[in-house]
Amino acid sequence: MEEKVFSISEYIAILNTELRKCTAKIIGEVGKVDIYPSGHVYFSLRDEKDQSVINCIIWKSKYELFGIEIKEGIKIIATGRPDIYKQTGRLSFIAETIELAGEGILKKEYEKLKKKLGDEGIFEESKKRAIPAYPQKIGIITSKQGAVLADFLSNIGNYGFKIKMVDSRVEGQSAITDLLSAIKTIKKKDIEVLVIMRGGGSFESLQPFNNELLVREVANFPFPVIAAIGHDKDVSLTALAADRSVSTPSIAVTVLSESWEQAASLLEGYERDIIGSYENVLENADSLINHSVDAIRGIKDIIFNKYKEIETALKISFQTFKNALQNNKSNLKNLWRKSVFGFNSLLSIIKQQLEHSEKIIYLRNPETQLKLGYSISRCDGRLIRSIRDTKIGKDVDIRVVDGAIVSRVKNINKINKKYA
């Protein structure tokens, strides 16, 4: 069997395929650094012990993620794989992630970035947004592998939360890419608050949360962010930039549910107040009704008494009027009786007067006397009542009932005195 002859290109391709399997994490001191106009960074890493050197490349898109300035002399850990560049045949280590090596340097860089971001005001308390009261739509970024999520979900309570979770690695420099991607994803979701969680760990293990890009994303996130990133001494910069930082997921749950618990407590209070107020209202209404009933009874008595007074007054008035009528009638009757009596008396007097006059006239009527045979004699026009009223030879006129007789006195005889 004839041995296959590869072209250079084919062979390098085979090598690169094999080399991809040699993914590794390497540590070394940065030597010469070239940053190309494209933004890609070419540098070398040197072994501290035997000065072995390997050329490294980190593409611009990756380099910008980690917030580490690659410069000569610093010690870094790079994660990646080797690759042969066809055009030059040069082997280079393509770094996917880079991180500073050595706690001293990490802390130094941490403080440096903390100062820088602090100077920009990213950690200002005045910029912190309040966690909304009665939140319902909650976004979570964490690893679904860890116990953190289970801890969170078991404590969340029954307040009707709608949770949207985006899975992300939370440890190692490779977590930075995931976290940034998760932030980008969840930003588009309909949420009210974001919770970024991971369990406790060493300062080194929390390095992704000190990533400048992540910190800025959290600071500029459109909704309030709760960071539940466990830590010992040095708080991660992401936690500092978050609107609220708590040490454990269960405390994050408390933050989210505290307004609901307060509401429940308030509702109980309001319920008590409302019931108490309503009881007071009922009591007052009862009292008012009783007072009103008493008042109405009082008014009713007044009205009835007044009615009786008016009734009595009316009766008296009617009786008085009736009496007055009766009196008037009685007076009228009396006056009539008096009038009748007076008139009858008057008639009687007149009759008596007429009778008297009639009697007098009859008695004094000269004709009455003459008819009886008496006569009236006159001498010289004077009545002859005595023999002395005439003389012998004198003419005497004698009046009788039906005429007058003229005679002459021949003799005069005196009648005895006892007849005079």
Partner 1 sequence: MPKEKPDVKNLSDNLKKLSEITEWFEGQEDIDIEEGLKKVKEAVGLIKASKERLKAVENEFEEIKKEVDIEKEEDNEEGKLEEDIPQI
**Binding residues for partner 1 (CB under 8 A):** 311, 314-315, 318, 322, 329, 333, 336, 340, 343, 347, 350-351, 353-354, 356-358, 360-361, 364-367, 376, 383, 399
CB nearer partner 1, residue 272 or residue 329: 329
Give yes or no for a contact between 180 and 166, defined as CB atoms under 8 angstroms apart.
no
- Nearest approach, Cβ of residue 393 and partner 1 (Å): 24
- Alpha-carbon distances, residue 268 vs 118, 265, 280 (angstroms): 44, 5, 18
- Nearest approach, Cβ of residue 382 and partner 1 (Å): 8
- Nearest approach, Cβ of residue 293 and partner 1 (Å): 30
d(CA 54, CA 224): 45
Instruction: Tell whether the torsion through CA atoms of 281, 287, 291 and 297 is positive or negative.
Output: positive
CA atoms within 13 A on the CB side of 112: 10
CB nearer partner 1, residue 180 or residue 376: 376
**Among 132, 109, 106, residue whose Cα is nearest residue 225:** 132
- Nearest approach, Cβ of residue 314 and partner 1 (Å): 6
Q: State the Cα angle at 147 between 142 and 151, rounded to 5°.
A: 90
CB nearer partner 1, residue 16 or residue 369: 369
CB nearer partner 1, residue 251 or residue 396: 396
Count of Cβ atoms closer than 10 Å to residue 134 Cβ: 13
- Nearest approach, Cβ of residue 364 and partner 1 (Å): 4
- Nearest approach, Cβ of residue 341 and partner 1 (Å): 12
CB nearer partner 1, residue 287 or residue 312: 312
| E strand intervals along 101-173 | 137-142, 162-167
Q: Alpha carbon 6 to chain centroid distance?
A: 88
CB nearer partner 1, residue 18 or residue 367: 367
